[in-house]
Amino acid sequence: MKRNKSETLLLGLLALALIPTHAAENPATTTRSASATGSISGRVKNLATGQYLNNARVAVKGTDLLTFTDESGSYRLAGVPSGGVLLEVFYTGLDEQRIPISVTAQQRVEQNIELTNVARYGATADVIKLGSYVVASARETDIEAIAINEQRFAPNIKNVISTETLGDPLGGSMGDFLRFLPGVSAAYGALETEGVLIRGFPSNMSVVSADGVQLAGANASGERDFSPSRVGVNSISRVEVTKVPLPSTAADTMSGSINLVSKSAFERSAAEFKYRVGISSNQQRFALAKTPDASNEQTFKWYPDLGFDYTLPINKNLGIVITGLHSTTSFETDTWYTDYRASGTGTNATTTNPYLWRNRNVEVSRSYERDSLSAKVDWRASTHGVLSVGAMVTYDDQLNWNSQFNPTVGNVGTSSIAGGRVLSYTPEQVLERSLRQMRNPLWFAST
């Protein structure tokens, strides 16, 4: 039995730092008289889902004033000419809006914006219109629109994928989610994805970070590989895969990087609680009652798969996110090997007429348990910065059992027992014994 047990504590995973936002003042305002201009600020959200939108484009028509919303959907335009202006708001997958606003000199106008898609959700805010039922038709979802919009306005070439796009993988492993991303391959362990390869480079050359902070793993070989299976997928909002680094990116890899963006309390306008409850098993060992286990105990052969995440925006400047995960997965292999020998004392064996020497049965049982708990507090300390404090604790327990059964007739054809028979066989007998052995493993040992 081999037991590999690890406990990982990731403190500050959710970026204990003052993070500058995208909503910045436009430098072009320096050419205008401050006494004749005002400012516009607010937040942009999806009216149907209540989710605040990151990288929504907000511009004043007829001017060079333009900005993008930050992760909380906030924006700010300074130096806006006083009088009537037309505000243009664009977000991929939603209808563009043009909003007339009256700006007073040296005053700030608060303008919150709610975008929707009339064709998808309907014209009213309180009624969501369901799309028509069509077989074999691909329809754009909100999750895909968010990812597409992130890629569209990214400063470099990257793929952005929401973790809700593919659903939760069995066991809740972040590694099993990453292996489905474009340009990313998996470095498999016994049961789960233990590393990722970008553009074909080894996993130790692929940088994995969380909210921009590079993650390191406790690798006995001393390398910097980070196993993404140590992170629960339900604590991550989206994943950014970068293959073309920016000048500000550290020149420590030739392959690329993966950034895990944690869930933020500012992503939603109202409290949201999501949970998942399920069980898993495997065909070989499924039973409703307790049955013998490789650990010499009586155990159930169905395993829990639980997860939740709770987002609470207390107000526009403060919110919390709490996530949890518990999962156990089991996997078994039962493999038969048939070995022949073409030589042996007194056997008359040749390469064209070998004899059945050994049948090997190798049984492997694996059981993985994962527990994860994370908490994060987001506070908008100023117009241009968000302070996030958080922690994640993960527990990973891997159990592996191996059992082998190797009956063999030996490699000497003459029996050492008085009165014993000399080994004799024909090609037909070899084939017959092979078939009997596969049907009844104990037959070989009794003949």
CB atoms within 10 A of CB 220: 5
Beta bridge partners of 266: none
More confident residue, 76 or 130: 76
How confident is the model at residue 147, as a pLDDT? 65
Residue 230 corresponds to which tokens in the numbers above?
A: 């140590």
Average pLDDT over residues 54-58: 89
213 contacts 13 by C-beta, under 8 angstroms: yes
Confidence of residue 246 (pLDDT cuts 50, 70, 90): low
Q: Which amino acid is located at 372 in the chain? A: S
Q: In what order do the strands lie in the sheet with 236-242?
A: 158-162, 236-242, 256-262, 206-210, 213-214
pLDDT reading at 58 higher than 90: yes
Q: Give the position of tokens 């604790």.
A: 393
The larger pLDDT score, comparing residue 410 to residue 204, is at 410
Distance of alpha carbon 54 from alpha carbon 72, whole angstroms:
7
pLDDT of residue 296: 76
Supply the mean pLDDT for the chain: 76
Q: What would the two tokens of residue 244 be? A: 């073309």
If phi > 0 it is left, if psi is from -120 to 50 it is alpha, else beta; for residue 266 that is alpha
Q: Residue 438 class from Cβ within 10 Å (0-12 exposed, 13-18 middle, 19+ buried)?
A: middle
pLDDT tier for residue 87 given thresholds of 50, 70 and 90: very high
- Greatest Cα pair distance, the chain, in angstroms, is 117
Is residue 100 packed enough to be buried (19+ CB in 10 Å), middle (13-18) or exposed (0-12)?
exposed
Give the separation between CA 184 and CA 198, rounded to whole angstroms. 5
Instruction: Please name the residues in contact with 13: beta carbons below 8 A apart, sequence gap of 6 or more.
Output: 210, 211, 213, 215, 262, 374, 390, 391, 392
Secondary structure element (H or E) that encloses residue 238, with its range? strand 236-242
Give the percent of the chain with pLDDT over 70: 76
Q: Please, what sign has the CA dihedral across residues 223, 224, 227, 230? A: positive
Which two tokens mark 110? 């608060």
Name the band, by pLDDT with cuts 50, 70 and 90, for residue 218: low
Contact 399, 3 (CB under 8 A): yes
- Between 399 and 68, where is the model more confident? 68
Tell me what percent of the residues of the chain surpass a pLDDT of 90. Answer: 11
Residue carrying the six token digits 């037909």 = 428
Q: Which residues contact 161 (CB under 8 A, 6 or more apart)?
A: 147, 181, 238, 239, 241
pLDDT(133) > 70: no
Of the candidates 291, 364, 262, 281, the one whose C-alpha atom is nearest the C-alpha of residue 327 is 281
Q: For the chain, how big is the Rg over CA atoms in Å?
A: 31
pLDDT number for residue 31: 46
The per-residue pLDDT for range 181-206, each reduced to its tens digit, is: 777 877 777 677 777 878 777 777 77
CB 100, CB 86: distance < 8 Å: yes
Q: What is the mean pLDDT of residues 201-228?
A: 71
Lowest mean pLDDT across 3-17, 40-54, 149-163, 400-414? 3-17
Q: Are the C-beta atoms of residues 49 and 91 closer than 8 Å to each other?
A: no
Neighbours of 356 (CB within 10 A): 20
CA distance 244 to 251: 11
Query: Is the predicted pLDDT of residue 23 greater than 70, yes or no?
Result: no
Condensed to tens digits (0 to 9), the pLDDT of residues 335-384 reads 888 888 888 888 888 888 888 888 888 888 888 888 889 999 999 888 77
The tokens for 431 are: 């084939």
Contact in structure between 361 and 408 (CB atoms under 8 Å) = no
State how far the Cα of 29 lies from the Cα of 38, in Å rounded to an integer.
10
In the prediction, which pLDDT does 224 show?
61
**Which of 174 and 250 is assigned the larger pLDDT?**
174
For residue 14, the model assigns a pLDDT of: 35
Q: Are 240 and 267 in contact (CB under 8 A)?
A: no
Q: How far apart are CA 9 and CA 216, in angstroms?
A: 11
Could you tell me if 65 and 18 are in contact, meaning their C-beta atoms sit under 8 angstroms apart?
Answer: no
Continuous segment of H or E residues that includes residue 17: strand 17-20
Measure the CA–CA gap between 307 and 329, rounded to whole angstroms.
14
pLDDT at residue 9, rounded to an integer: 42
The pLDDT of residue 51 is 82
> What's the rounded Cα separation, in Å, for the pair 81 and 228?
50
Question: 434 phi and psi, to 5 degrees?
Answer: -65, -45
Q: Which domains does the chain have, with CATH numbers?
A: 21-121 (2.60.40.1120), 154-262 (2.170.130.10), 267-447 (no CATH)
What is the model's pLDDT at position 156?
66
Res 310: pLDDT? 93
Average pLDDT over residues 5-17: 41
Name the residue with higher pLDDT: 136 or 120: 120
What does the pLDDT read at residue 245? Answer: 67
> Is the confidence at residue 3, as pLDDT, over 70?
no
Average pLDDT over residues 214-220: 65
Higher pLDDT, residue 97 or 161: 97
Residue with more model confidence, 286 or 18 = 286
Give per-residue pLDDT as tens, 250-304. 666 677 788 888 888 888 888 889 888 888 887 667 778 888 777 778 888 888 8
Q: Name the most confidently modeled range: 7-11, 45-49, 76-80.
A: 76-80
Q: What does the pLDDT average to over 11-20?
A: 38
Confidence of residue 136 (pLDDT cuts 50, 70, 90): very low
197, containing H or E segment: strand 193-198
Least confident of 37-51, 197-211, 320-334, 357-371: 197-211
| 52, 55, 69, 161 from 145: Cα distances, Å | 13, 12, 16, 10
